[in-house]
Structure 1
Amino acid sequence: MASMWLERLKLPLTLMVVQVIFIILFCAFIDYDDDASPAGIRPKSKAGNGTDGVVEPMEQAAEGPNSLHMYYGMFQDVHVMIFIGFGFLMMFLKRYGFSSVGLNMLISALAIQWSTIVAGLVHNHGDSFTVSVTSMLTADFASAAVLITFGALLGKTSPLQMVIITLVEIVVFAVNEYIGVEVFKAVDIGGSMFVHAFGAYFGLAVSRVLHREDVEKSQKEGSVYHSDMFAVVGSVFLWMFWPSFNSALAVEDAQHRAVLNTYFALAACCVTTFALSSVLDKHSKFDMV
């Protein structure tokens, strides 16, 4: 009886402990940035003479518009991609519809919080740091990497295993990004290297470690009509909002070019894909999957 209860409580207890740790770390290391601080006050600079956490009158208002107005629209688009686009895309397996959407939401919520903490500590060398709307964007990008990994592991892992994988991957992701951006000075606005490639190869590596020959040809691996339909809906959501994903962290004219280039590239690729789908199908029909 005790072992049965222990088995049932492993996941909820792990989640509760992890969430409590997140809250403690948020309280210990994180504060609002200037744009989010209450009007007229801001956290005292570490270079000042005051005690950490004490606030002082703001010497001068930040010039230009609040960063929330600049980035929140893009953030909302990326957020929809994470929770709706990836969520429905992961329904491609016939036996994992509800668990795909549910685990997608759980993993994303964990990754968003953990990546904010880890990335902030890594980039600030263990010191306290501030968060803003751009922190929300970068947290969503980190969760996208984990969800790409999730796509390679769907049906192979338990929820508890995915929680552990998420916690480990976010740390590796943050370190990898820090080395690429700060050491090698790599530019990756659209996340091709640090998000997509990293998430894919991390997922393949974990999948190889968890590989079992006895379930290599499982009957659960496959799709049905409605699972493919939901996966297509998820793909359309991702397709629609990809200009925002590619341009969210770019600035000024570079952001404008990123939106334009991605927008027209998506349209051209869509037409080309439909053409090739018809050519390659033996009945000359479109194949959405």
Structure 2
Amino acid sequence: MANTSTNMRLRLPITCIVLEVILIILFGVAVEYDHDAGGQDLHKNHSHDPHDHVYENSFYYRYPSFQDVHVMIFIGFGFLMTFLQRYGFSSVGFNFLIAAFSLQWATLMQGFLHSLETGGKIHVGVDSMINADFCTGAVLISFGALLGKTSPVQMLTMAIFEVALFAVNEFILLNVLHAKDAGGSMTIHTFGAYFGLMVTRVLYRPNLDKSDHKKTSVYHSDIFAMIGTLYLWMFWPSFNSAITEYGDAQHRTALNTYFSLAACTLSTYAFSALVNSEGKLDMVHIQNAALAGGVALGTAGEMMITPFGSMIVGFSAGAISVLGYKYLTPFLESKLKIQDTCGIHNLHGMPGILGAVVGAITSFAATKEHYGDGLKDVFPKVMSGTPVSTQAGMQALSLLVTLGIALLGGLIVGFILKLPIYGSPSDSQCFEDDVYWEIPKEEDGCQEMAAVKAVEEAEKLNG
């Protein structure tokens, strides 16, 4: 039976209504279409064909990538979290809710910071849609660490602060330090992971073992989670290349990510069997570590890392991720009191740092000889005379800035979420859909029968 203290009938509706009303007002005051959506530049093409100007619109170049990214956010992330046997509704459903709010709020936060440079209102188009989805991805990564232990109102509150901090960090990295991070190894994965880890550390539950029997998967829940894995795996080349410059850089990013993911998958299978005493594969490793190659190519994807280099990075990311799940996650929980439900440190945190380091090293080797005229698309500052050592230094500094903002921000937000006003579940009700959702009656019956059977078997063993 759900705990009435969660008070879903009031807390969630009021929160959703108030937030959406505020968003609508802000959009009405501050947002307008960009030049490709607003119809202001229809005269810009002087071709005799009156339709030529239509095909110059960024929509036709960016929208296919946006669709892929959107699928990753709502289906990929949502289903990846359905591994918990009694938390599937919440995994997909709250992912949907948090993402829908975050993409609107991110549009405003990112647009506001951009408007500081350009002046005027916030302009929205397909590029802003992609960037808002990227920000949403960071929030959903943090959600993975807190999965099953927090209320939807807590998650929406976290999103308010995290989106704002993400936008600030992204602005510093891309506009102040002029770092390159098209696929978000730093801005998305490292930031989202360490922000979420710090929040879950502050929200540590010493009595979470009361819900340990529900913090497990069953056969069909792991199959559903693999659906998320496969969607993410297939579309990750689009994710990393979505906002890169048209042409060589975008083509190269997709190729590098493609090869990195393939190498990462074989590495994952190999190390999963190696760390198991019986040589069996662990589905947790396959669902998560096989994606680490995409994370690790987020920074260097558009650089001349070569397919050979991409495969080395992917292979290394898979190994690091599997070893993290096997050895580091238990250590973090037992020694540092970090209860990371989805293991985001292994999929996003460590591979994100690896990606940042690879990006710094690769940028140090950037030359006009290797990139040709494409150097201006990947490293415009280097093209204009900035030494590659300076660019590499900015890449390294960007990682430190990201970690600093994520950890400090997560610490502060964690204490905000600790306030007893959000209707979070009790220690014995974590990882349980019934707290927040109407569950089909036959499902209730199956769960009751399974519980009775488990008690009977336990009595037999004790008897």
In structure 2, do the counterparts of structure 1 residues 7 and 248 end up closer, same or farther at CA, with 3 Å as the change threshold?
closer
Q: Distance in 2 between matches of 1:121 and 1:214?
A: 42
Q: Distance in 2 between matches of 1:147 and 1:63?
A: 35
The secondary structure found in structure 2 opposite 1:31 is: strand
Does residue 60 (structure 1) correspond to residue 44 (structure 2)? The answer is: yes
2:280 to 277, 281, 285: 285
Please tell me the residue identity of whatever aligns with 2:86.
R
Q: Equivalent residue for 2:29? A: 28
1:106-161 Cα distance to aligned partner (Å, 9 max, x none): 00000000000111112212841211101010011000000000000011110111
Does residue 153 (structure 1) correspond to residue 146 (structure 2)? The answer is: yes
Q: Equivalent residue for 1:102? A: 93
Q: TM-score, structure 2 length as denominator?
A: 0.55
1:256 to 244, 251, 255: 251
Q: Distance in 2 between matches of 1:5 and 1:182?
A: 42
Q: Equivalent residue for 1:50? A: none
State the 1:280 CA deviation. 3.3
Does residue 276 (structure 1) correspond to residue 271 (structure 2)? The answer is: yes
In structure 2, do the counterparts of structure 1 residues 164 and 5 end up closer, same or farther at CA, with 3 Å as the change threshold?
closer
Q: Distance in 2 between matches of 1:207 and 1:194?
A: 20
Q: Distance in 2 between matches of 1:254 and 1:28?
A: 36
Identity value in percent: 55
Please tell me the residue identity of whatever aligns with 1:121.
F
Task: Please tell me whether the aligned partners of residues 139 and 159 of structure 2 are also in contact (alpha carbons under 8 angstroms).
Answer: yes
The residue correspondences of 1:153-232 to structure 2 (distance < 5 A) are 153-216=146-209, 218-219=211-212, 220-232=214-226
State the 1:63 CA deviation. 9.5
- Which runs of no fewer than 5 residues in structure 1 stay unpaired? 43-57
Q: TM-score, structure 1 length as denominator?
A: 0.87
Q: Distance in 2 between matches of 1:63 and 1:5?
A: 52
Q: Distance in 2 between matches of 1:6 and 1:238?
A: 35
In structure 2, do the counterparts of structure 1 residues 155 and 142 end up closer, same or farther at CA, with 3 Å as the change threshold?
same
Please tell me the residue identity of whatever aligns with 1:148.
I
1:46-103 Cα distance to aligned partner (Å, 9 max, x none): xxxxxxxxxxxx6634797210000111111111000000000111222211011000
Aligned length: 270
Task: Please tell me whether the aligned partners of residues 100 and 154 of structure 1 are also in contact (alpha carbons under 8 angstroms).
Answer: yes
Task: Please tell me whether the aligned partners of residues 113 and 139 of structure 1 are also in contact (alpha carbons under 8 angstroms).
Answer: yes
2:261 to 266, 272, 286: 266
The residue correspondences of 1:43-54 to structure 2 (distance < 5 A) are none
Q: Equivalent residue for 1:91? A: 82
Q: Distance in 1 between matches of 2:136 and 2:150?
A: 18
Q: Equivalent residue for 2:420? A: none
Q: Equivalent residue for 2:239? A: 245
In structure 2, do the counterparts of structure 1 residues 288 and 221 end up closer, same or farther at CA, with 3 Å as the change threshold?
closer
Q: Distance in 1 between matches of 2:137 and 2:126?
A: 17
State the 1:4 CA deviation. 8.5
Q: Equivalent residue for 2:297? A: none
Task: Please tell me whether the aligned partners of residues 241 and 254 of structure 2 are also in contact (alpha carbons under 8 angstroms).
Answer: yes
Task: Please tell me whether the aligned partners of residues 108 and 122 of structure 2 are also in contact (alpha carbons under 8 angstroms).
Answer: no
The secondary structure found in structure 2 opposite 1:92 is: coil
Q: Distance in 1 between matches of 2:131 and 2:203?
A: 29
Q: Equivalent residue for 2:68? A: 77
- Which runs of no fewer than 5 residues in structure 2 stay unpaired? 46-52, 285-463
Q: Distance in 2 between matches of 1:76 and 1:18?
A: 26
Q: Distance in 2 between matches of 1:63 and 1:101?
A: 37
Q: Distance in 2 between matches of 1:76 and 1:248?
A: 10
State the 1:230 CA deviation. 1.5
Task: Please tell me whether the aligned partners of residues 121 and 127 of structure 1 are also in contact (alpha carbons under 8 angstroms).
Answer: no
Please tell me the residue identity of whatever aligns with 1:102.
G
Specify which structure has the higher proportion of helix. Answer: 2
Larger Rg: 2
Please tell me the residue identity of whatever aligns with 1:137.
I
Q: Equivalent residue for 1:53? A: none
Q: Distance in 1 between matches of 2:5 and 2:148?
A: 23
Task: Please tell me whether the aligned partners of residues 78 and 92 of structure 2 are also in contact (alpha carbons under 8 angstroms).
Answer: yes
Please tell me the residue identity of whatever aligns with 1:14.
T
Task: Please tell me whether the aligned partners of residues 85 and 217 of structure 2 are also in contact (alpha carbons under 8 angstroms).
Answer: yes
Q: Equivalent residue for 2:426? A: none
